[in-house]
A = this chain, B = another copy of it.
Amino acid sequence: MSFLPRLPLPWTSLTICSKSPRSRVAKGRKMSFHYNAIGSIRSPFREKFGVPRQSLMMDEARAIVKLNPDPGYALALSELEQFSHIWIIFDFHKNGNGRWHPLIDTPRVEAGQRMGVFATRSPHRPNALGMSAVKLERIDLDAPGGIEIHLNGVDLLDGTPVLDIKPYVPYADCIPEANSGWIKTEIEKFSVGFAVECLQMIDEQAKREHPRLKLLIEQMLELDPRPTSQRRATPISDPASEGLRFAFRVMGLDVHWEIRKGTIFVFKVLLLE
């Protein structure tokens, strides 16, 4: 906006460009940007395979953003707790050799049908930037060793460097009319069963680790946490998968499960250490 005589306050010009915007951007200009982590994630997920891709469907998946010491961060978090959800902007620090791939073998589409990396949320992008909307539980300004932001519904790996935190703003971020492109919106959930002695083990461990440990295990299993290649080669609903066995470790337990008639059955639970 240009100043007009009657304008009593400082004002800034707003110019809306005309005809040929192209000339203003140097062709192929390479610009480089440098950011420092403000903190990092502490999460139950240590390996990228098996991390739920449907973070918000796993409301037992909790994590913490542990902020680095900085005299300004406590103030910078003022009023953030008013929001129910926040964005975590992070670096995909475990995307292998750091190279990016133009085409990606994505989960939940036909084998051989690869997607452009910009049409996916894959870590193997030109800039390994990730973003994830999560539920904000609470902020602990006085936690020993640094501020902690407690999150829920998290798909972030333990140790993930955090670059930014922003409030989730429904009017800008929630677009109900957006389509889902190639992404299947109906997520198949499988039924999960437990042997009686397994339930007892989990119940015991829940007292020490996490009150809703059984629910967390169920939420992890019902989405079939195996990598894409496995899910494609041996779908749970396929009779040929009958009896296939797997195991994962969660909160001090080694959980063994097998595929039984299109469902997931936990047949053995061992206490680690």
Residues in A lying within 8 Å of B, measured CB to CB? 1-2, 4-19, 21-22, 24-25, 27-38, 40, 42-51, 54-56, 64, 66, 68-70, 72-73, 75-80, 82-85, 87, 89, 91, 93, 100, 102-103, 114-121, 125-127, 129, 131-133, 145-146, 158-159, 161, 163-183, 185, 187, 209, 225-227, 229-230, 233-234, 243-252, 254, 256, 272
B46, B161, B233: the one contacting A33 at CB < 8 Å is B161
Name which of A1, A75, A78, A146 has the most chain B CB atoms within 10 A of its CB.
A1
Contacts of A8 in B (CB 8 A): 233-234, 244
A-B contacts, 21 of them at CB < 8 A, read A2-B254, A6-B243, A8-B233, A9-B230, A14-B248, A15-B47, A17-B158, A28-B69, A32-B34, A76-B103, A76-B125, A77-B119, A79-B116, A83-B180, A87-B131, A118-B166, A132-B172, A133-B178, A167-B181, A171-B183, A174-B175
Say whether B37 contacts A22, CB under 8 Å.
no
Contacts of A55 in B (CB 8 A): 172
Say whether B82 contacts A15, CB under 8 Å.
no
Q: Report the bound CA distance from A118 to B27 in whole Å.
A: 34
Contacts of A233 in B (CB 8 A): 8-9
Say whether B181 contacts A11, CB under 8 Å.
no
Q: How many copies does the complex hold?
A: 2
Say whether A78 contacts B170, CB under 8 Å.
no
Given contacts A2-B247, A170-B176, A178-B174, contact A76 B117 (CB under 8 A): yes
Contacts of A70 in B (CB 8 A): 126
Q: Report the bound CA distance from A128 to B222 in whole Å.
A: 39
B17, B35, B114: the one contacting A35 at CB < 8 Å is B35
Say whether A183 contacts B159, CB under 8 Å.
no
Given contacts A146-B27, A209-B18, contact A82 B119 (CB under 8 A): yes
Q: Report the bound CA distance from A231 to B48 in whole Å.
A: 48
Say whether B172 contacts A250, CB under 8 Å.
no
B69, B72, B185, B272: the one contacting A171 at CB < 8 Å is B185
Say whether B17 contacts A46, CB under 8 Å.
yes
B28, B73, B175: the one contacting A133 at CB < 8 Å is B175
Q: Report the bound CA distance from A11 to B245 in whole Å.
A: 12
Say whether B21 contacts A158, CB under 8 Å.
yes
